[in-house]
Amino acid sequence: MDTQEDITQYANIFQESFPAIEIVTSNPTKRGGNFNVDEDNLLVSAWLNISIDAVQGTNQRAETFWEKIWQYFCENNTYETTRSASSLQSRWGNIKKKTSRFAGFMAKVEARNKSGGTKEDKLKDAKELYKASPAPTTGKKTAFAFEHCWVVLKNQPKWSMPKERPKGISLTPSSIDQVGSNDDDTMVLERPIGRKAEKAKIKRIDDDKGFEDYLAKILQYIQESHEQYKETLRIKADRVQVDAQRADYLAKKLQYIQESHEQGKEAFHINADRVRMDAQRVDIEKERLHLETIREAQRVDIEKERLRLETIREEGRVMTMDTSGMNEKERLYFENLKDEILARQHLD
């Protein structure tokens, strides 16, 4: 069972540093009145649409950022209320502070690993913890009044459960307190991908694809060159065979001359020398072709080994790549790539 001290310590992760919370009303009012549920939802929608933008969301001045939120709010406001940009900013501060604090209690409930508990049970337990814990700055105990906002924000990185735990720390109510806090009363969690990270991711994928294309072209070139050289060797082998048949014919002719002609020994010796020279030339040509075949085979083996080492080096880079800082799609891409590498090695 969690003690009151544990609850207070965990709640301090999300210290309250914004103006006092405004009461949520069910009926819309004019300028100066309390925000209603519909206005809160519209404000949350405006903040999400303007801030979660991989190209512009993290590269805007505060004035420009809240001016855009105010414009979005005004364009979609059908509740006959008028709000200023500063009023929206103040209201968002309350929403952010309270929902972040509530997210801490939800994390604490999740850390209990209570078997058989439904989402509704966990939500109820978190609301009870919130209500039972005094606010760190005011010491007052109040019910959680922004469940309608938390329902929309709970899946956003700043409000969701941590996806990575510090090494050596298990997910328990006491260890959650060690995750840390910051000045914005939010948990230190995964941030939306930025413009530079998005460009780097695209470049990394393009580079990997380019390298794969390069390896494929090199392999295709080696295979084509090997086939062409095999055809050249076949032609040379056919030529050697023809020369061997010719030498055999000359040998038979020499035998005929020796058996049929006793005369013309001088001519016989000349023809005999010619046959011997032809036979020697055939032997030399055979030896040269044999050596050339060996050299080509060695060259092909060396080229294959070079390509194999280059492939191993690149696969090693992929296998040892740190994916902890990547988003889900990047991790999935490199995990699939690693699985393909392992599958190829298994087949080999």
Examine residue 160 and state whether it is found in any structural domain, yes or no: yes
Number of structural domains, the chain?
Answer: 2
**pLDDT at position 172:** 45
Extract the tokens encoding 220. 């295709």
Q: Tell me the C-alpha distance between 117 and 340, whole Å.
A: 39
- Same structural domain for residues 33 and 162? yes
Examine residue 185 and state whether it is found in any structural domain, yes or no: no
**Which among 190, 189, 178, 191 is positioned nearest to 13, based on CA atoms?**
178
pLDDT digits (tens, 9 = 90+) for 271-322: 889 999 999 999 999 999 999 999 999 999 999 999 988 888 888 888 888 8
Q: Which domain holds residue 29?
A: 4-176
Look at residues 176, 205, 237 and tell me which one is the last residue of a structural domain. Answer: 176
- Same structural domain for residues 200 and 171? no
- Same structural domain for residues 148 and 248? no
pLDDT digits (tens, 9 = 90+) for 75-121: 999 888 889 999 999 999 999 999 999 999 999 988 886 666 788 88
Cβ within 8 Å of residue 80, ≥6 positions away: 28, 30
Q: Which amino acid is at 170?
A: S
Give every residue of the chain whose pLDDT is below 50, as ranges. 1-30, 58, 163-191
Q: Tell me the C-alpha distance between 145 and 34, whole Å.
A: 13
Q: CA angle, corner 93, sides to 92 and 98, nearest 5?
A: 100
CA distances (Å), origin 179, targets 123, 167, 186: 21, 11, 11
